[in-house]
Structure 1
């Protein structure tokens, strides 16, 4: 149990002591035990104040202090288990669902646990502080190291700079592969990149894939990562998504997916990258989806196995990727560790030794750069890393794992659990960033500091792992937040191995020889991750539950039936993720898991019984039904902060306000007056607008991100699809930072309301979010607007000046086919970094070229302008003299 988890346990105790409006805990059997909860809370609080507030001892990490803290956390964990088993028993009996509730103790026995906590506190107080004093210089060094490695606050721009792809030593390789891909030849051909893990195969493939000439040469480009497990459906979805991310693929059958891919590729010159393929069989199956119709199409394949590439090629090239030279390794290390700064002279010698010890493996260099970037720029520190580096480097792949393990050992304590957790996700799994942060919160990894929200702290943890090159960001939200991230195969392997060493989780990657409950009992792990079908094969059940987190990544499972039928084995579950398990109904036994903090589940309807899970912080629901009607007792979920659903959520009425901070696609029924009555603490809100009723969001004083969506499916039934024509008044709070309007049809005259918002940083208008052919921005300013995105609008003329957008950094215009030009003065905005245009009118390109030329004339070559994915170059030739 981490310190953050102890904090979470104490919050639960406070609710048990004082909260009378939660039906599940407002029970006589629980109320009569409030004195014991009070005593336990006070004992925990007193011990925390004693043990964790001695900064000097904690800083020096003395063995005695470490052992005492470990024992205290174990005692607190035991106390929480006792409390949770007691609560499960009370809830079980009151529901009369499980007749064998006598397997648990019906009363609360905390005496032994509290006695242990008290003795631990006394033992700590008797420790001789004098025997644990350290030299003042060492203390100073440790303070510097800690301050440099454990800061929660991240600079967003600095973090993004670390993410920029620094490609060193691949120029010649890229040229060879590009020339082979675009050479004459009508038959479909295969070019392969082969090399060991971490040598840069994917990086090189991406460099070629995004090369401007390659982009120009091929009509269609797609990317798929196969990895060790071939999955036909996953391959089809990946390729189609990379070709067109607007396609609706989830409900399509395999045959429909194959037909869609054939339609996109047939008769066109395409380039498909098949990344990280491991077997000949996988190649034989996957290549069937890519037609050979004499158009000069190519497949670029990456693999660690030469035999796979040899089998796949016809007349193509097998390019064996070589290691970096020492000079290239040193250059890459400097660019990643120092970014735009130069390496100090006193670090060059140890730095070059570290680069040399990487043996030319780019992954090793990048990971080590992440380690060095977080360490003080001290010659002694770098020499120490350099001297100990030899034991971590070997000539094979295992050596690279040890290199990454070195990065793990340099992680501050608050990041280690977050890092190990990444090993639970399947290989090449696209991790949703919001979901990952919610999981970290539910697991108790996030330590509150009083000055930031849990989300802000969790996001700083994520960016810290990114800065250390242990986590890769694969997709951004338009406003700059992380949307998806992924883990490199070798980094994930380290997570898995270290997770096993630390008893962090039990991974079940092959069918267990015995039943799941026995497996959990045998290994006594708190977390179980599986991608296998689970069964119960014997009636024997453990009477003492242990598992607290269960993440299942298989598509079909009987797991929910197991949990429902054999509830005592899973009664302490805090996290239950069943994201691929399609359920026809909500199993009654799941309603007994009152300790759940995170639940991801498929449902056909929203059952009232789910609202007994009063500890829930995050609820993610997937469904094929629309809309999902929320039950009137949803207010009982007093701890619920995040509610996400892929369908519309309809709230007909509400008994009392919810504490939600995040909710998607919600529509209020006639029994609800306004949003504040339902969600007074909401920070991120997506709302569907089906009626012409006034929408006043001004009263939501915490709202930062708002998405408003007009209806497509129901507009013909409701009769008021275009909200703008019906003069809808929509009020916005001054706290708003991100606003997205989709299908709202508002008149451009209403833009003055949005322009007046003092904190707005991102504005996204899509699918006639605003309607009309002329947008005049007038003299008003968007005071802090950094991101402006216009997509599928019927606008023809846009009259604006640089004065209107004093802080604009990124402008994106997509599928605005009638827009005649981009206002020329926008190029004069000093903060503007990029303009991205996709599928727009030819006349608009003329205005872009004028912007490009004008900015070149004043020496602004930094402004990036892209049209249909191709960079519009600066006219630097004018200034060559």
Structure 2
């Protein structure tokens, strides 16, 4: 159990104490136990404050402190198991599914666990004492270590492959003619070679000549000001007798005296937080001597804070060729490599995924083994375990990133290790899972999903998670990945900490969408703690038992189909799921991967849904009344009826597919002029996709009036007519516009109509004659993509680019493919 798990249990205890709207918590047998819940809550609260919140104040051994935490979380897990088992037994008895309730009695007996907490509390207080003489001995040892080395990590010191260009770039920035004290940063994930690159620059002959004083400081895992001052003085060569007590103020004075008036270079290696930098920068004089500070960090935010205007060099992965060169250099020491090594060797470097640390460690393993193709093939298949099992510093380097994570991020990070190798995480689903698992802490009025997105961005900024795909429309992250080495590390730590150890009645997440369920699992209705349920099944009905799972937050129900067109009809009592926030349900045709919407004819009560995906809403459902909190809606509509979304004040993303009439709801091609009524939209809307809505182009003024619209996608006759004239009205915030399979012939537009447009895409608009030349004058436009349109359209885009080049604008890019000769298709 991690800190997030402890917090989740505390939240549950708080709900039990206050007896909220949860039907199980309001049950008389549960209410009677409120005093015990309060007692447990108070005891845990005190220990949590000391163990986690005030952790930075403790100076006793780090390993001993971690051992105490593990013991504490084990006790919390025991307490949680007792409470959840008690709640489940109450629910099962009340459900009436068992003939004799006597066999299911499970009293809330927390006496033993409370005694354990009291005993732990006493032992913990005894361990908080730190001997001052031990502290002085540590200081002396730090000084001796600083005198013998400059603190650079030994494991990567010799890696020089593939970083020459990086080193030149940083060196040139350090020695440029700028008198003020400047900060240059190297940022990247653990093991990427930041320290190696900094070392190469630090030892460069021109750098040595340029700077009078060069100092190397390595920041320890827990920042210690005195230790840093000692490292600086040791690097400068100042003699210091630490047997005598020297105050920190005196050490700082000595540092300032030895740096003032000199051109100095300070390398601060492996800095972990903003507060540390704010403290460190006070040590260094700003006397316009062209001095420089070079930082290395795994955190983007630290580099931006140190100098947002300075050079922040993001160190990326090695390509396959550079990785192979490095491997050969480390294994064969410059000698020619045997031909048999090429194929398994290439597989090895590919599995290292461009991480220099991984290549160096695995090279060390290969160097110790007999040189044979069989051994290399074996190592290539199990490279992760070889690297993580290495004891020469690799695991320590990777673990540092985990140890420096804030408590609220640790569970989110470890959770990623439970997925397959090279897994591509779709961001919305990942955030829903984190929320369901209880990893996200409520903060103010923000939704849990928005907070979860902030957690993900923090992991990305810390270079623990990499972005694998971005949305073309707005650049937001669509998918991400975890390096296999970090996956191995997550699994190792998760095993040590017994992370995500759940029994089947206590399960929070059940995802069966990637395998067909041919019969609804028996006993599913007893999983009352379940928060996330995803099922794929050929069943032609919606199992009513699902509506008893009152804790559900996310429900994904997919009906797999080979040829039967019967859609899913969701029951009206689905509104019993008071905690449900995300609902996705559709009919999936396996061969074509086509999705057909499910149907929700009526519901009994309003719901707190934020996301509705592929669900057709019935007549009796007033969206504002029944879904007042909706933020994202993907739904079919009837284009010959009123579709009023204006009153949905939280709605940000809307995807609409039109049907001509209720009688023709299964027809996919409609006659012209099918739409009789307008669709209205809320001012909060940021993203809109319309599909087969058959609206007249005159209705475009409705969209142009939306103040926050940033993304607009018009597909498959969403608008009908041969001419679109944008007139003088502006799309005030529109950044992305896509036109796809529309019957438009002429488009009249002006640059002032799209003051913020960054990207224009036009796909399969076979009748369109050209792109308005005025589009090229949009100052923010970065990219135009044309696919499967007339040659005349392609030529008009090239003309736009040529005109912009004449004006000195070389930033506008065009991507034109599959220009079609459609002269035979002319009317």
TM-score w.r.t. length of structure 1: 0.61
Q: CA 1:431/1:656 → structure 2, altered by over 3 Å: closer, same or farther?
A: same
1:415, distance to aligned residue in structure 2 (A):
4.5
Structure 2 gap segments, 5+ residues each: 136-222, 230-270, 278-296, 329-337, 368-379, 588-596, 820-827
Among 680, 690, 696, the residue aligned to 1:741: 690
C-alpha separation between the residues in 2 aligned to 1:618 and 1:477?
26
Among 721, 730, 736, the residue aligned to 1:781: 730
Q: CA 1:117/1:400 → structure 2, altered by over 3 Å: closer, same or farther?
A: closer
Q: CA 1:118/1:608 → structure 2, altered by over 3 Å: closer, same or farther?
A: farther
Residue pair 2:639, 2:693 contacting (<8 A) in 1 also: no
Q: CA 1:457/1:606 → structure 2, altered by over 3 Å: closer, same or farther?
A: same
Residue pair 1:2, 1:445 contacting (<8 A) in 2 also: no
Q: Residue by residue, what CA displacement relative to the aligned partner does 1:123-146 show, whole Å, maximum 9, x if unpaired?
A: 667775886998545699664377
Among 442, 448, 456, the residue aligned to 1:462: 456
Q: CA 1:686/1:416 → structure 2, altered by over 3 Å: closer, same or farther?
A: same
C-alpha separation between the residues in 2 aligned to 1:122 and 1:469?
37
Q: How many pairs align?
A: 616
Q: Which residue of 1 aligns with 2:521?
A: 587
1:82, distance to aligned residue in structure 2 (A):
1.2
Q: Which residue of 2 aligns with 1:409?
A: 400
C-alpha separation between the residues in 1 aligned to 2:450 and 2:672?
35
Among 598, 609, 626, the residue aligned to 2:545: 609
Q: CA 1:500/1:56 → structure 2, altered by over 3 Å: closer, same or farther?
A: closer
Q: CA 1:829/1:14 → structure 2, altered by over 3 Å: closer, same or farther?
A: same
Q: Which residue of 1 aligns with 2:377?
A: none
Q: CA 1:307/1:837 → structure 2, altered by over 3 Å: closer, same or farther?
A: farther
Q: Which residue of 1 aligns with 2:576?
A: 636
Residue pair 1:154, 1:464 contacting (<8 A) in 2 also: no
Among 593, 599, 610, the residue aligned to 2:533: 599
Q: Which residue of 1 aligns with 2:241?
A: none
C-alpha separation between the residues in 2 aligned to 1:428 and 1:646?
28
1:195, distance to aligned residue in structure 2 (A):
7.0
C-alpha separation between the residues in 2 aligned to 1:424 and 1:657?
36
Among 434, 438, 446, the residue aligned to 1:444: 438
1:445 match: secondary structure: coil
Q: Residue by residue, what CA displacement relative to the aligned partner does 1:279-334 show, whole Å, maximum 9, x if unpaired?
A: xxxxxxxxxxxxxxxxxxxxxxxxxx99999xxxxxxxx9996999xxxxxxxxxx
Residue pair 1:473, 1:486 contacting (<8 A) in 2 also: yes
Residue pair 1:742, 1:767 contacting (<8 A) in 2 also: yes
TM-score w.r.t. length of structure 2: 0.64
1:462-861 correspondence runs (5 A): 462-466=456-460, 468=463, 470-474=465-469, 476=471, 478-487=473-482, 491-492=483-484, 495-496=487-488, 498-500=490-492, 502-503=494-495, 527=500, 547-548=501-502, 570-603=504-537, 604=539, 605-624=541-560, 627-647=567-587, 648-672=597-621, 674-690=622-638, 692-711=640-659, 716-717=664-665, 725-861=674-810
Q: CA 1:167/1:500 → structure 2, altered by over 3 Å: closer, same or farther?
A: closer
1:856 match: secondary structure: helix
Q: Residue by residue, what CA displacement relative to the aligned partner does 1:725-757 show, whole Å, maximum 9, x if unpaired?
A: 433232222222111111112222222222222
1:91, distance to aligned residue in structure 2 (A):
1.6
Q: Which residue of 1 aligns with 2:274?
A: 144
1:44, distance to aligned residue in structure 2 (A):
3.8
Q: CA 1:149/1:11 → structure 2, altered by over 3 Å: closer, same or farther?
A: farther
**Range with bigger deviation, 826-835 or 134-143:** 134-143
1:689, distance to aligned residue in structure 2 (A):
0.7
2:599 match: secondary structure: strand
1:77 match: secondary structure: helix
1:52, distance to aligned residue in structure 2 (A):
3.9
C-alpha separation between the residues in 1 aligned to 2:315 and 2:35?
58
Q: CA 1:112/1:798 → structure 2, altered by over 3 Å: closer, same or farther?
A: farther
Q: CA 1:680/1:447 → structure 2, altered by over 3 Å: closer, same or farther?
A: same
1:76, distance to aligned residue in structure 2 (A):
2.7
Q: CA 1:71/1:757 → structure 2, altered by over 3 Å: closer, same or farther?
A: farther
Structure 1 gap segments, 5+ residues each: 175-193, 200-304, 310-317, 325-358, 369-388, 506-524, 528-546, 549-568, 871-881
Residue pair 2:638, 2:660 contacting (<8 A) in 1 also: no
Residue pair 2:567, 2:586 contacting (<8 A) in 1 also: no
C-alpha separation between the residues in 2 aligned to 1:60 and 1:698?
60
1:17, distance to aligned residue in structure 2 (A):
4.3
Residue pair 1:198, 1:361 contacting (<8 A) in 2 also: no
**Range with bigger deviation, 103-112 or 135-144:** 135-144
1:855, distance to aligned residue in structure 2 (A):
1.3
2:738 match: secondary structure: strand
1:18, distance to aligned residue in structure 2 (A):
4.4
Q: CA 1:323/1:32 → structure 2, altered by over 3 Å: closer, same or farther?
A: closer
1:659, distance to aligned residue in structure 2 (A):
1.9
Q: CA 1:598/1:867 → structure 2, altered by over 3 Å: closer, same or farther?
A: same
C-alpha separation between the residues in 2 aligned to 1:464 and 1:198?
32
C-alpha separation between the residues in 1 aligned to 2:477 and 2:791?
33
Q: Which residue of 2 aligns with 1:554?
A: none
C-alpha separation between the residues in 1 aligned to 2:680 and 2:758?
26
1:715, distance to aligned residue in structure 2 (A):
6.3
Q: CA 1:367/1:416 → structure 2, altered by over 3 Å: closer, same or farther?
A: farther
1:288-327 correspondence runs (5 A): none
C-alpha separation between the residues in 2 aligned to 1:738 and 1:727?
24
Residue pair 2:642, 2:679 contacting (<8 A) in 1 also: yes
Larger Rg: 2
Q: Which residue of 2 aligns with 1:34?
A: 34
Q: Residue by residue, what CA displacement relative to the aligned partner does 1:7-34 show, whole Å, maximum 9, x if unpaired?
A: 3333333444445654444433223333
1:696, distance to aligned residue in structure 2 (A):
2.2
Task: State the Cα RMSD in Å.
Answer: 4.5
1:154-173 correspondence runs (5 A): none
Q: Which residue of 2 aligns with 1:271?
A: none
2:689 match: secondary structure: strand
C-alpha separation between the residues in 1 aligned to 2:577 and 2:434?
20
C-alpha separation between the residues in 2 aligned to 1:163 and 1:635?
52
Residue pair 1:152, 1:461 contacting (<8 A) in 2 also: no
1:2-81 correspondence runs (5 A): 2-18=2-18, 21-54=21-54, 56-57=56-57, 62=62, 65-81=65-81
Q: CA 1:390/1:90 → structure 2, altered by over 3 Å: closer, same or farther?
A: closer
2:742 match: secondary structure: coil
